Amino acid sequence: MDHPVILFASDPALLSALRFSLTLEGFDVRGDAERPTSRMCLVIDQGFRGDGLAWLASLRAEGNASPAILLVTHPDRTLRASAAALGARLIEKPLTGDELTDALTDILTYHPAA
């Protein structure tokens, strides 16, 4: 997988746990200090900067088309529809099983970023 995964989470514990587990799975994980490019897969916590979905919307408005996964707790229909409109996959927290790694593998293997 040639495309890095970049994590966006305001909670340092979540960021650290995600970085650790995804690195163990063999993903090229980057921190949120980098400006995302279209060659990256974004993993965004809904709480990032107060509203991860709004932050993703601002990236999309700037022309960033990176594949994105939004980590959420108890998403409602409106959130699901908004995420879909932005082309983001939703994964519900708490993270259990391999759902996140499976989604990343699918995105990076079958739908590589442009």
What percent of the chain shows pLDDT beyond 70? 89
**The CATH classification of domain 5-109, taken from the options 3.40.50.720, 2.40.50.140, 3.40.50.1820, 3.40.50.2300:** 3.40.50.2300
pLDDT at 84 over 60: yes
111: pLDDT confidence band, cut at 50, 70 and 90? low
pLDDT computed for residue 16 by the predictor: 93
Averaged pLDDT, 96-113: 82
Please state the domain extents for the chain: 5-109
**How would you label 49-83 residue by residue, b for 16+ Cβ within 10 Å and e otherwise?**
eeebbebbbebbeeebebbbbbbbeebeeeeeebb
pLDDT at 33 over 90: no
Going by DSSP bridges, is the β-strand pair 41-45/68-72 parallel, antiparallel, or unpaired?
parallel
